[in-house]
Structures are given as structure tokens and as C-alpha cells.
């Protein structure tokens, strides 16, 4: 029997509807809407589409969207000055600087300059450290979305053996911390892991975030495992030359073995923007001295 499909679009839409209600309550309680500021440097087409979609989703959820687009030759000092301005702006609860940045700008310096209380990407070292020690933190959106899908599919994750393929600061490491927080037993695997297929075959939960098209094969997967495919890779199609999107998992093979699996597209991707909205509302509540609603 083929694996159940984990519908990220449906899960994201349900979450966004709840967030819109929470945003209305926040506005009624404070007299203002929660605000998200996005900063895009340059004109990368993919980044531009992504930033615009974030702004649209923010407005649809009943929050304010502040968009800042800077030319590709912007100096690092000027970007840091804008970040500092947004840190001081009382209407802004969340700041997102779209990555990657042009070569003349040190992304680490920019991330470090963001007020951790407004760091809705969850990349600041303060938020990373708080997550690592189990304290309240703003968590990177993609792994938080993955956790949401896992808990919806499986409920209690306690005791499950989880393998995360990938050790990035954006997905792999925070994903492992989140799973540890749910009392799963976690292995972080990566490009130098010995006998990676054997490691993966132990996993009740397999999260693939390695950025290699269809690297994880069907025979790497434990029968009945839950597979979360974070990868979004554009590859050439067959005869017509059109490109197509695939994940880090060989989907057709994996679906014959797994118990449940996220598709690409339509799995993890929609959850990322939903969790960005969630993080913005969490930041807004904390800054206003309000209790964060439990359903966030």
C-alpha cells in the first residue's frame, strides 16, 4: 500500500486561518496590527517572488507588511542602518532580511544586527542558543513547519527514532533540537556519515534536508516510516527540456515503503510562510507583554 500523503498546503491553510483570528485579537487588544518588515537587496527573481508572497500572506492574515527593496550595489553599512531603524520602529514586530545577500555584504553581520526579539527567521545566535537549551525562542520557519506536520501526522513523538539528513543552521540543526524537545532520539547525518543508507533505515522519522535531488532512495527507508522531504531542487525533464521540481527523496520509490510522506511541491514549502506569520504574531505578543496563545 502506498504511503499516505502529508498535505502541507491544507495544513498551512488551516494554520493561516487560525493566525488571522489571533491577529484580529491582537489588533483589538493593542490598537495596532502586528507588523512584518521584509528587506530584499537586489533583483534576484526567485527571491523577489518569495518576498512578494510573504507580503501578500502577511496582509491576508490581517497584519501590516513593510517592504524594503534596495539596489544590488547597496553598501553593508546602509543595510545595517536600515536594520537598526527597523529595530527601533514600534510598528515592526518582525524583521526578515531575504538571503542570499550580494557578495559585498556579510550576511552573518546583518543577522547579528537584528534585534533577537524581532528575528522571525530564528537565525540570530541568541535564538539559536535559546532553542538549544530548551528556552523560549523564535525558531527557524522551515523546521518548525516540519515539526507541525509530524505532530499532526503522528501525535506524540516521544521515543521515536529520528534521523535528520543535513546539518545547516537553517534546517538541520534546529530540526534536531526541535525533535529532541519532543523527546525523540535524534541522529544528525550529513555528507560524511558512514553508511548513510543504514543509518536512515533505522529511522521512524526521516527528515531529508541535504539539497541533493532524489538522493534518498526507497531502499533507504524503514517500512512504515514518516518521511519529511525539505528539498526543493529544479532538474531537467525528459524530452521536452522543461524543468521540474523534485525533493531530496526519490518520491515514487519512497512512497512504496514509507507510511507517510510529504510531496514536493505541496509538502513542507507552504508551511514555511505560515510559520513566518506565526513567528511574527509570537514576537508581537511578547513585545506587547501579552500571553502568547497556546494554539500558536
Looking at residue 43, what is its pLDDT? 87
Mean pLDDT of the chain: 96
Of the candidates 64, 93, 98, 248, the residue annotated as catalytic is 98
Of the candidates 115, 119, 121, 204, the residue annotated as catalytic is 121
Question: Which of the four pLDDT bands, split at 50, 70 and 90, describes residue 1?
Answer: confident
Percent of the residues in the chain that have a pLDDT greater than 90, as a whole number? 91
Structural domains of the chain in order of their starting residue, each with its CATH number: 30-120 (3.40.50.10860), 141-270 (3.40.50.720)
Of the candidates 54, 118, 173, 222, the residue annotated as catalytic is 54
Judged by phi (left if over 0) then psi (alpha if -120 to 50, else beta), residue 148 lies in alpha
Looking at residue 295, what is its pLDDT? 83
Looking at residue 242, what is its pLDDT? 79
Q: What is the mean pLDDT of residues 154-169?
A: 97
Q: H-helix or E-strand containing 284?
A: helix 269-287
Instruction: Verify whether residue 173 is a known catalytic residue.
Output: no
Instruction: Verify whether residue 85 is a known catalytic residue.
Output: no
How buried is 55 (Cβ within 10 angstroms: 0-12 exposed, 13-18 middle, 19+ buried)?
A: middle
Q: What is the mean pLDDT of residues 176-196?
A: 97
Model pTM score: 0.95
Give the model confidence (pLDDT) of 124-152 as tens digits.
999 999 999 999 999 999 999 999 999 99
Q: What share of the chain is helix, strand, coil (3-state, %, to 5)?
A: 45, 15, 40
Looking at residue 50, what is its pLDDT? 85
Q: Are strands 161-165 and 185-189 parallel, antiparallel or unpaired?
A: parallel
Min mean pLDDT across 26-30, 46-50, 67-71, 104-108 is at 46-50
Residue 149, C-alpha cell as written in the block: 506536520
Whether the pLDDT of residue 89 is over 80: the answer is: yes
Whether the pLDDT of residue 238 is over 70: the answer is: no
Whether the pLDDT of residue 204 is over 90: the answer is: yes
Whether the pLDDT of residue 101 is over 80: the answer is: yes
Instruction: Verify whether residue 54 is a known catalytic residue.
Output: yes
Amino acid at each position: 500500500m502506498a504511503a499516505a500523503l502529508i498535505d502541507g498546503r491544507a495544513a498551512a491553510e488551516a494554520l493561516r486561518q487560525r493566525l488571522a483570528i489571533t491577529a484580529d485579537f491582537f489588533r483589538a487588544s493593542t490598537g495596532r496590527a502586528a507588523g512584518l518588515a521584509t528587506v530584499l537587496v537586489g533583483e534576484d527573481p526567485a527571491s523577489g517572488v518569495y518576498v512578494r508572497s510573504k507580503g501578500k500572506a502577511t496582509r491576508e492574515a490581517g497584519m501590516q507588511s513593510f517592504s524594503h527593496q534596495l539596489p544590488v550595489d547597496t553598501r553593508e553599512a546602509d543595510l545595517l542602518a536600515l536594520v537598526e531603524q527597523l529595530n527601533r520602529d514600534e510598528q515592526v514586530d518582525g524583521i526578515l532580511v531575504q538571503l542570499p545577500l550580494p557578495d559585498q555584504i556579510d550576511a552573518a553581520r546583518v543577522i547579528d544586527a537584528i534585534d533577537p526579539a524581532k528575528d522571525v527567521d530564528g537565525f540570530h545566535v541568541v535564538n539559536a542558543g535559546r532553542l538549544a537549551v530548551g528556552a523560549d525562542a523564535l525558531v527557524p520557519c522551515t523546521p518548525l513547519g516540519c515539526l507541525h506536520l509530524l505532530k499532526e501526522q503522528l501525535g506524540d513523538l516521544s521515543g521515536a527514532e529520528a534521523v535528520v539528513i543535513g546539518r545547516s543552521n537553517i534546517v538541520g540543526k534546529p530540526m534536531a533540537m526541535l525533535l529532541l524537545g519532543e523527546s525523540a532520539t535524534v541522529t544528525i547525518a550529513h555528507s560524511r556519515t558512514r553508511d548513510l543508507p543504514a543509518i536512515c533505515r533505522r529511522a521512524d522519522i526521516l527528515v531529508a534536508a541535504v539539497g541533493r535531488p532524489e538522493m534518498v532512495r526507497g531502499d533507504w527507508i524503514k517500512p512504515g516510516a514518516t518521511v519529511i522531504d525539505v528539498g526543493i531542487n529544479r532538474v531537467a525533464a525528459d524530452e521536452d527540456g522543461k524543468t521540474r521540481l523534485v525533493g531530496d527523496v526519490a518520491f515514487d520509490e519512497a512512497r512504496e515503503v514509507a507510511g507517510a510522506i510529504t510531496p514536493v511541491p505541496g509538502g513542507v514549502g507552504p508551511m514555511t510562510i505560515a510559520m513566518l506569520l506565526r513567528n511574527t504574531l509570537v514576537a508581537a505578543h511578547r513585545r506587547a507583554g501579552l500571553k502568547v496563545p497556546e494554539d500558536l
